[in-house]
Chains A and B, each alone.
Chain A
């Protein structure tokens, strides 16, 4: 079994690692590549995979480094590819692409244990880099799984390691990782978080399309097929019915004939926050995924802003800083309300603004309605909604393009589109009829997770609707999309889109994904959303309101010491086979030693006990008996029999020294 190793001191000759190690290393690299594949360009992934596979095959044929004339051009090619594809080699995405590429190229020269160790370390780093792109539960678990081949490689490097199969080799580190979990959690909880990053603005480039503060026809299309979670809402008490689940993000007043903006460029909003009469209200908590924007979606209509956020004049909630990490906030919103019962002059002007010289046919239609219904604004609104409901409009995610007179084209010729077309056209119609109106974008609907009692809102639930100001009722929500497709509001975007969705968003799968989301929510709340603020509140249950860095450091040190102590106890624990017979004899020796009869080194039990018997004549009989039974128990059997052993121990316990005076 022993393995001869090469002479150790000095420079050991570079001994090539065996195929087993190399296979594990290749597997590690393949895992890293697979985990990065989602953000690498497909051709780079393919090229790297081919390189990896080729090198693996080549190494099986003949061990040895790949010659330099092949390696250097590949390196140059990789750098070139990254620069061409990303425009730079710095930054998170190009940096990761370069790192993964270098890692695969490292495999070309991995021959000695040292190469392999460097490769494994680098792979660990690249595994961590994969988490910078997505820190979902699934990817994190996969990255942790990716550690297994990496650690197995290190294990296989040790000499005289037992021959194992691949599954066993991978499993061998599970125990180590499992034992590491408590300490890892302690570190995770207590390592002081940075309140401001040391360098770089984290990741504006990873922004999803998200909601935007402008709206032009067609810029929702990308959003409506993005089924990543946008936020999760849990309500105190019963959730509002589906037709009230409107989450307000942006309110848009300014229309330039093509797109909607909050206000015209250069204008500043100096209006006061709109007044509101509250009928009924509900309070709820939102966990928002990072958006890299400042707006915080809120259920219509929020009553106040959470800390570190402001309420805008139109009751949009805007945070002081862009939301770069998962954010949790609590809000209270009115469900039955009268918003801005009296409209100020400026708002009225904004609500009626229209660019001149656009959409003559819709203007004519609006004027026709105005003549027919007179001053009854509500009737005009109803007429418009009826038009959308009965006018042969179709809900589709791929509408025909619109021309200069977008609203006219939409209303009178194409008649197909999705929420933003309807909201835009409806708002323009209302303004043409002289009713103050505005576009509101945000989310509508969501999936109610019964198990977790929360509402999951995805990006695909993005929605646009209108608000019209009616005298005596304030701003009233009018959703023309609901007129066209009522199920858009009651069942959600996926139902409305019908079979235009890709296969992976079909009902059954979507249902499963919605239910699975509870785990994601738990992960987001527990892990990814654990920021400096939450960390400071960590010790609140123990009466410490604000846990500062020093306290955290002390706690971390104490906790580590505790875990190390547990680990040491485990490591030092050596179960010695107990020998009750010897222990009994020791007890007897101690009893006798108190009388000054100490067993000498090298003195056998027989000699010793005989000496004791001579010294204590009163106990002679007893000691002789003890000696005899000890010798018998010790030497007559391999294992001392139980019953006589018990008797001997009892006898030793009961032994009392009697001194003859």
Chain B
């Protein structure tokens, strides 16, 4: 039943875009205005109006003017709350969308920045199953985080977001579609298991010391040590000359990750294998380089390098 409804709705969306208030993706900033805010009574609102009818009939039947006045007051306040609900969305602007990183299959955190020139309360934003409520102070902005479910690597356009509010009394629900023309990059999923990358040729120079730049220890002077490594101050307190010994920060050999090393797999499998290797390299704090068709990334390490490599993998054709 639910699935059928869903299909019907999708069909309606395609064939009757005006009816379902479908909106094409649009660029930022998106400002809500009266042509795109819709108001419907909530279920509670319908129930409440029924109650008001009962109260009205009761008051009229008993000829009780005070009760009638009260009923009219409640009814008018409900009607006014509809306008308040509308006003809590009207003029709201979505100005900026920031996206985090996530591997396919994991939710990706996006953050939407809203702006308004008035206080807004109890505004809710729905994305699929995720729903978040926020408020805006006077002439304030609010950053609203949302989790976007992902399943495939690559550019994923943002889905439609429903922005709604039933402020103040929960009787009416003002809503609007937000369909920002943005896409987020989803990183490829790493394969579950597989061979490690081919060990690179052992380069003797890689093991040599004095090559790093972090101070590891002080030791006695040996002939041939460069003069600038001598720790003069420390040597003054010792009979012998002391030398600053520097250590290579990376203790492991560099990996050269190469698309061409992997044979006998289709592209997606290659990408997910490379993604696993990049992951492993990162967790082992290795330096690594990545060769992809049409994109060669020199060796490096650190979060930026990782993000760069993963993005490159994600964007592979």
Contacts and interface: CB of A to CB of B under 8 A. Distances in A.
Interface of A: 1-9, 114, 117, 121, 124-125, 127-128, 131-132, 135-136, 139-140, 143-144, 147, 151, 154-155, 157-162, 172-173, 176-177, 179-185, 187-188, 191, 193-194, 197-200, 202-203, 324-325, 527-531, 564, 567-568, 570-572, 574
8 contacts: A5-B132, A7-B130, A131-B66, A143-B70, A147-B73, A172-B168, A177-B77, A567-B83
Contact of B70 (A3, A144, A154): A144
A325 B63 CA distance: 8
Nearest to B62: A202
Interface in B119-170: 121-124, 126, 129-135, 142-145, 166-170
A184 B90 CA distance: 26
Contact of B132 (A2, A172, A179): A2
B76 interface: yes
A476 to B, nearest CB: 41
Interface in B52-66: 54-66
A173 B81 CA distance: 10
Q: Tell me which of B63, B64, B122, B133 has the highest count of chain A C-beta atoms within 10 A of its own C-beta.
A: B63
Nearest to B34: A572
B73 A177 contact: yes
B62 A197 contact: yes
Interface residues of B, number: 61
A571 B60 CA distance: 32
A131 B70 contact: yes
A136 B122 CA distance: 38
Nearest to B119: A162
A194 B63 contact: yes
Contacts of B58: 128, 132
B84 A8 contact: no
A9 B2 CA distance: 11
A564 B79 contact: yes
Contact of A180 (B77, B134, B144): B77
B133 A527 contact: no
B218 to A, nearest CB: 53
Contacts of B83: 567-568, 570-571
Contact of B124 (A5, A114, A147): A5
B76 A160 contact: no
Given A124-B51, A135-B65, A2 B90 contact: no
A146 to B, nearest CB: 9
A160 B123 contact: yes
Nearest to B83: A571
A157 B135 contact: no
A5 B126 CA distance: 10
B134 A3 contact: yes
B107 interface: no
Contact of B122 (A4, A159, A199): A159
Nearest to A146: B70
A14 B283 CA distance: 42
A196 B19 CA distance: 45
Given A125-B54, A179-B80, A202 B61 contact: yes
A140 B76 contact: no
Given A161-B121, A181-B73, A531 B63 contact: yes
A193 B135 contact: no
A8 B126 contact: yes
Contact of B76 (A8, A117, A128, A184): A184
Contact of A160 (B71, B74, B75, B122): B122
B268 to A, nearest CB: 31
A143 B68 CA distance: 12
